[in-house]
């Protein structure tokens, strides 16, 4: 009877663990915390405890490379079918599971075939996409349609016909020399943030702007970014090749830097170190 199941009333986050180390764990926890506060949810566990529980899930799973989920659910109201969300006891669900690879790390030349979604992304006026949520029916129906057309995944437009995001990933397009990514109507992905930081470090111009369907169709490179999938080269759009259809030069440069950062102590923490209380909180 949890409202997370009955009403998609939950927020969540997914964190990547590579070789036993969390990538940008505190950025993910900060996003989760912001989302849960905006949904007026409060769990019994403190934030240092959430961090420690996630690390314990990873340790118990014995998976060196995996993804950890933290779901904050509205929970169950005390009296069965009570309709007042304020009366539900909010709950934390945590788990560590194998990585649902989209492209395996050793498959460096692979790129994805994408189709534009048959559904438009849910309007941000109704559901705030910056709170990571389970309102995925638009994604799921578009994904089924993409599979019917032989594509690997889908990118959804908003109600004005501009680019938003895909099921579980943000989108970047190379327009001339400038990397552009939608400035609104999307989750502020941690991988998206990382790519913007990499662009700054490599002196690649990168802007958050309105990205039209034409921008996407004319782009010389298109990249999807996600925690689970990493840097995802997109090789075709609605059956038309992007560039030569293979991962582009800039995509490869960004992917190499991203892989480097994923192993850097600056951005990672060992699961074994994250278990237990943390004084800075």
Ligand X SMILES: Cc1ncc(COP(=O)(O)O)c(C=O)c1O
- The span from the CA of 162 to the CA of 174, in Å, is 16
Is there a contact between 103 and 246 (Cβ–Cβ < 8 Å)?
A: no
Q: Which one of 117, 168, 230, 248 is in contact with ligand X (CB under 6 A)?
A: 168
- Report the sign of the C-alpha dihedral through residues 126, 129, 131, 132, in that order: positive
Is there a contact between 129 and 184 (Cβ–Cβ < 8 Å)?
A: no
Residue 27 C-beta: closest distance to ligand X, Å: 8
Of 65-73, 166-174, 175-183, 250-258, the window that binds ligand X (rule: CB under 6 A) is 166-174
Residue 83 C-beta: closest distance to ligand X, Å: 28
Q: Which one of 115, 142, 226, 268 is in contact with ligand X (CB under 6 A)?
A: 226
Of 2-10, 176-184, 190-198, 236-244, the window that binds ligand X (rule: CB under 6 A) is 190-198
Q: Which one of 9, 138, 152, 165 is in contact with ligand X (CB under 6 A)?
A: 165
Site string for ligand X, 1-20 (x = CB under 6 A): -------------x------
Residue 231 to residues 22, 39, 281, Cα–Cα distance (Å):
17, 30, 31
Residue 212 C-beta: closest distance to ligand X, Å: 19
Where is 216: in which H helix or E strand? helix 213-218
Neighbours of 276 (CB within 10 A): 12
Residue (155 or 237) nearer to ligand X, CB? 155
Residue 191 interacts with ligand X (CB under 6 A): yes or no: yes
Residue (2 or 165) nearer to ligand X, CB? 165
Residue (77 or 168) nearer to ligand X, CB? 168
Is there a contact between 129 and 186 (Cβ–Cβ < 8 Å)?
A: yes
Using CB under 6 A as the binding criterion, the count of chain residues that bind ligand X stands at 13
Residue 17 to residues 29, 63, 118, 234, 255, Cα–Cα distance (Å):
14, 9, 33, 24, 17
Contacts with ligand X by CB under 6 A lie at 14, 165, 168-170, 187, 189-192, 225-227
């Amino acid at each position: 009877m949890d409202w997370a199941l009955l009403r998609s009333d939950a927020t969540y986050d997914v964190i990547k663990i590579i070789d036993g180390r969390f990538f940008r764990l505190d950025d993910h926890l900060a996003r989760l915390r912001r989302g849960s506060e905006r949904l007026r949810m409060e769990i019994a566990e403190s934030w240092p405890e959430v961090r420690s529980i996630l690390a314990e899930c990873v340790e118990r799973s014995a998976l060196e490379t995996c993804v950890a989920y933290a779901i904050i659910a509205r929970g169950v109201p005390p009296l069965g079918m009570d309709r007042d969300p304020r009366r539900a006891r909010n709950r934390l669900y945590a788990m560590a599971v194998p990585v649902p690879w989209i492209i395996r790390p050793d498959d460096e030349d692979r790129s994805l075939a994408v189709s534009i979604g048959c559904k438009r992304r849910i309007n941000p006026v109704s559901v705030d996409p910056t709170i990571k949520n389970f309102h995925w029916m638009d994604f799921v129906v578009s994904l089924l349609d993409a599979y019917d057309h032989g594509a690997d995944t889908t990118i959804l437009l908003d109600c004005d016909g501009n680019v938003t995001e895909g099921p579980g990933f943000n989108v970047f397009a190379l327009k001339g020399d400038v990397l552009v990514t939608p400035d609104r109507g999307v989750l502020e992905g941690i991988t998206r943030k990382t790519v913007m930081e990499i662009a700054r470090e490599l002196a690649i111009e990168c802007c958050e702007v309105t990205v039209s369907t034409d921008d996407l169709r004319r782009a010389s490179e298109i990249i999807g970014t996600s925690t689970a999938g990493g840097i995802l080269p997109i090789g075709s759009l609605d059956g038309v090749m992007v560039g030569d259809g293979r991962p582009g030069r800039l995509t490869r440069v960004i992917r190499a830097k991203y892989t480097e950062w994923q192993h850097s102590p600056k951005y990672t923490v060992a699961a074994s170190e994250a278990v237990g209380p943390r004084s800075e909180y």
